[in-house]
Amino acid sequence: MPDSLLPLEVNGLSFSIGQKSLLSKLELNIDSPGISVILGPNGAGKSLLVRLIHGLLKPGQGRISWNGKKLNLAIRKQQAMVFQKPVLLRRSVEANINFVLNNLSECHRSNCEDILQQAGLIQQRRQPARLLSGGEQQRLALARALATSPQVLFLDEPTASIDPTSTMRIENLLSQVRDDGVKLILVTHDIGQARRLASDVLFMHGGRILEHTEAQSFFNQPASKEAQAFIQGDLII
Ligand SMILES: Nc1ncnc2c1ncn2[C@@H]1O[C@H](COP(=O)(O)OP(=O)(O)O)[C@@H](O)[C@H]1O
Ligand SMILES: [Mg+2]
């Protein structure tokens, strides 16, 4: 078993495009297992933050470290990410999984069948991936991410474009994955999903982290007025 990647420590993280500052001097420490939910309205900076901490974007300023080591390729290889819109190969369901498995070293190989079974896609294994429903495609994208046995899995609004039944299946899968010891960092603007899944909540607004608290205290007593409004379902701008 490799060393844990936690804690994640972020210091003075800023990100701009041109003259426009999009994230400004973020401080963050994630050191507990479970599901850390990044919650906030559209445009808050949630996607930018997860892309930065997973190394898909380079910060303008600041430091990102995992278990004391500066973010590097070896660390990124122990992580995976699922996006709102699944990106799949134009091949069969099982070929999408095997493609990933074939690129791994033996010791990391899990079994394609087990993975498809867990994702509830074993019946569809020989179908072209593009013929799956939206919910099934997202389960396949999740299964493919899990095939790499990540220690940390990022999910950016994974259920934003799928129906409630598929959302429930994905949420159940995420709970299982959490129970298997994978650290999940889940971006959502769905307050119900955050209540169902979060161990801790990071609330973002306007390119800042307004609070980071254990889930129960966040929902019982949010510290910022923006989070209070968000929890009540008010529009916040
Ligand atoms: N490539 C880009 N160029 C210019 N502005 C961007 C770019 N990417 C994101 N932004 C802006 O940064 C802000 C945060 O974006 P994002 O992280 O995608 O928000 P969220 O995921 O919380 O909805 C938004 O105002 C968005 O318009
Ligand atoms: Mg986003």
**What tokens does 86 get?**
């699944």
- Pocket probe for ligand 1: among 16, 26, 47, 189, the residue whose CB has the most ligand atoms within 8 Å is 47
Q: Residue 13, SS3?
A: strand
**Spatial distance between the Cα atoms of 116 and 207, rounded to a whole number of angstroms:** 38
Q: Is 46 in the pocket of ligand 1 (CB under 6 A)?
A: yes
Answer yes or no: are the C-beta atoms of 205 and 42 closer than 8 Å. no
Domain ranges of the chain: 1-78+151-231, 86-149
50 Cβ closer than 6 Å to some ligand 1 atom = no
The domain covering 1-78+151-231 belongs, at the CATH homologous superfamily level, to: P-loop containing nucleotide triphosphate hydrolases (3.40.50.300)
Q: How far apart, in whole angstroms, are the C-alpha atoms of residue 171 and residue 185? A: 13
More confident position, 98 or 1: 98
Task: Give the Cβ contact number of residue 119 at 10 Å.
Answer: 24
Interval between CA 22 and ligand 2 midpoint (Å): 13
Give the span between the Cα atoms of 48 and 154, in whole angstroms: 12
> What is the position in ligand 1's atom list of the atom closest to the CA of 42?
23
Q: Is 183 in the pocket of ligand 1 (CB under 6 A)?
A: no
pLDDT tens column, 198-218: 999 999 999 999 999 999 999
Q: Share the mean pLDDT of the chain.
A: 94
pLDDT of residue 169: 96
Atom of ligand 1 nearest to the CA of 187: 21
Distance CA 119, CA 140 (A): 7
Q: What is the pLDDT of residues 74-120, one digit of tens each?
A: 999 999 999 999 999 999 999 999 999 988 765 555 689 999 999 99
Predicted confidence at residue 181, as pLDDT, reads 96
Cβ–ligand 1 distance for 42 under 6 Å, the answer yes
Confidence of residue 73 (pLDDT cuts 50, 70, 90): very high
- pLDDT value for 105: 64
Task: State the closest ligand 1 atom to the C-alpha of 51, by its place in the atom list counted from 1.
Answer: 17
Among protein residues, the one whose CA lies closest to atom 2 of ligand 1 = 17
- Atom 16 (ligand 1) nearest CA: 45
Confidence (pLDDT) at 184: 98
What confidence score (pLDDT) does residue 155 get? 98
What gap in Å lies between CA 192 and CA 194, rounded to an integer? Answer: 5
Is 150 a pocket residue for ligand 1 (Cβ < 6 Å)? no
Q: Give the number of the atom of ligand 1 that is nearest the alpha carbon of residue 40.
A: 22
What does the longest C-alpha to C-alpha distance in the chain come to?
51
Which has the higher per-residue pLDDT, 189 or 13?
13
Average pLDDT over residues 30-49: 97
Residue recorded with tokens 């129960």: 216
Output the CA 45–ligand 1 centroid distance in Å. Answer: 6
